[in-house]
Structure 1
Amino acid sequence: MVTQNLKKFDTPVFPFTAIVGQDEMKLALLLNVIDPKIGGVMIMGDRGTGKSTTIRAIADVLPEIEIVKDDPFNSHKSDLDLMGNEVKLAIQNNESINTEFIKIPMVDLPLGATEDRVCGTIDIEKALTEGIKAFEPGLLAKANRGLLYVDEVNLLDDHLVDILLDSAASGWNTVEREGISIRHPARFVLIGSGNPEEGELRPQLLDRFGMHAEIRTVKDPELRVKVVEERTSFDQTPINWIKKYEVQQQKLREQIVNAQERLYNVELDYELRIKISQVCSRLDVDGLRGDIVTNRAAKAHAAFMGLDKVTVSNIKEIIRLCLRHRLRKDPLETIDSGDKVSKIFAEVFELD
C-alpha cells in the first residue's frame, strides 16, 4: 500500500507534445523508441536548452510494458531475448508466472558511477560458500526494455562509455568475476547528452551512437518568451497542463505503438539503398554502420508517418542525424552541422 500511495506523488513530467522547437532532438528520440536497434542518440547542445526535460518527457509518453512481477531485469513473459535466466527456468518447468504493467524504465546514470554500479556485482563469498551465483543487479539490469540516460556523457570515463555501447548494441550484459560468469538481457535505448564546450567524445565512440542531434538556444525573442511562459505556467499548475495535453499525448502514444507494429513490414527499395550507400561513400564514412543506421532510421520514419514504403522524403528527414557525426576523422575537428551531408544527399538523389 505504501508504494501505491507514493506513486501518487510522482514528480509531474512536462508533456512531450508541449515542447516548443528542438525538432531534431524530438525526432531522434521518437525514432529510437520505435526501433531501438538504431543504436541510441547523442544530443549535443548549449546549457539550458531542455535536453533533460525532453528526454524525461519521451519516457513519460511511451506506453506501459508488461513485465514478470518482482523480476530485477523487467523480463518479458515470452521473448527469450528479453528474459532473465530464472524466468526461462520457470517457463521450462511449466511454473505459473505473474506479470504486471509498469511505465517504461527510465534510468539516469550518474557521472561518478563505478563499473560495478553500472554492470552489477557477484558476491564471490556467497558463491563459494553456498554454491549459488549471488548477483546484485546494476543499472543495466534496471534499464532493460527502457531508456538509459547519461547526462554529460562526454565527461564519463571512456571505458564506461564502451561498456554502455557494447550492451546497447548486443542487448546483453555479461559480468565475470573470479571465473564466475552472469549474463542477463540489457536491451535499452542509450541516450547521451552533453555540452560541446566541455569536450567532445572520441570519434571512435561517437560513431557507435546511431544518431547525433544538435540543439541550439532559441534566438527568436517571441519564441523565447513563449517557452519561458509555458514552463512557468507548468511549474505553477502541472496537473492542469497535463490535462490540457492529454489528448495529444494519447494520440502520439498510439502513433508510436502503430509505428512499432508497422515497422517490420516497411519496405526500402533497392535503388534507394544503393543511393544511401552512395552518399556514405561520397562522404568517406568509415565502415558500414552509417549505411545500416540510415536504412533503419528511414524505415522507422516511414512507419511513424504511417507508410509501408520508404520515400526519398523519409530519408531526407533523417540522413543528417545519422551521418553528420561520422565525418570527423581528427579528434580536434568540430562536428559538421550537417550541411555537407545535405549537399551530397541532394546531389546523389538529384534534388534541386
Structure 2
Amino acid sequence: MEKNDHHHKAESALKVNEGIEQPASINPMLENEMIRFRKNRPSVKDFLSGIRAGNRNLLGQAITQIESARSEDQVMATELINACLPFSGKSIRIGITGVPGVGKSTFIETFGLYLIGLGKKVAVLAIDPSSTRTKGSILGDKTRMEELSVHTDAFIRPSASSGTLGGVTRSTREALILCEAAGFDVILIETVGVGQSETAVSRLVDFFMLLMLAGGGDELQGIKRGIMEMADLIVINKADGDNMLKANLAKREYENALHLFPPLANGWIPKTVTASALKNIGIENTWNIVDEFVNQTSTNGYFQKNRHEQSKHILRETISHALNNHFFNNELMTKRLLFLEQQVIADKMNPYQAAHQLLEEYFHLG
C-alpha cells in the first residue's frame, strides 16, 4: 500500500474513513443439507443427549434444524429449544464487532485459543446482515480460523443463511442456547460489518467488544458514535511493530472520547486496550477486563437484570414474530392484501385505509 505524501498535515489517530469492502459470501447449500438431514432426523431426545454429551456433529445438525423455516421443522425446533433451556444460561456471552480488515478473525481465534488454554470451552457464532441478501454465510469462518475450528473444545458456526436480520438474530439466539446446553463456557458472537447487527447483538450478550485500528488511509474503518457508546471495551488491534506509537495515541484519544459519553446504567466505565492478535499481545489483559466486568456487574445486580431485560425482549419479539407469521401465512389475508395493494396503487384507497380494512377483516376471522 502506498503511503500518503509527507506534505499532508498530520491527522488524528481517530480519523474515520470507509471500511474495507466485505468479500463475497460463501453459500453453504443449506437447502440440500436439510433434504439429506430430514431423511434420517434424530428425535428431540437423541438431539438433547448428543448435545449434552458434547457431540459437535449433532449440535451442528440441531442448529441446522432451528434455522429451517419449514413449519414441521419449527415444531421440532421449539421442542428442542425448550428441552435445552434448563441447561442454558451459564456461559459468558461476548459480542465482538469491527468491520472487515480489523483482524477480527485472527483476534477471535487467538482469544478463543487463549480461553481454551484456561480450560474453557468456546463457541463462535456469527450475525451477518449480508447473508439476508446473498443467501450465503460469512466468508469461510472455518477457513479463517483453522486452528480454532478443529479444536475439540471449540465450535464455530457461520450465520444463518437466509431471512431477515431479525430471523438471523433469532437463529443465533437459539444456537446460543444449544451451545450453552452443550457445555460451552464462553460464547463469542461476531458481527460482520457495522450497522444494525450491533444493536441486535447487544440484546444477546453480556459484554460488548469493539475492535478498532490506528493508522491512516484504507486501514481505518467507519464506526458510528452509537456503536462506540455500546462498547464495554475498545480493543486497538494490530498494535505491534511500526504501528505501536499510533496505537498508543489512538488508545489515549479513545479513552478521552469515552469519558464524554453518558455513564452506563451498569456502573461500568468502558475501557480501552491495545492488542496484537498476531503477536498474542494484550489477549490476557482483554480477558481480565471481561472477567472484571462480570464480577462487578454480578455484584451490583446488573448482570442478571440485563439478562432479565433480554428475556422480556425475547418474549415480545417471539409474540410479534408469531403474529406476523400467522397473518402472512393465511391464504385469505394474502389474497386480500394483493387486492388492496392494487387499490392503493390505483389511488382508490390510501395505505392507511387499506391497512385498517385488512386488519379489521383479520381480527374478525373465526
Give the TM-score, by structure 2 length. 0.28
- Larger strand share, 1 or 2: 1
Give the TM-score, by structure 1 length. 0.29
> Which of 1 and 2 has greater Rg?
2
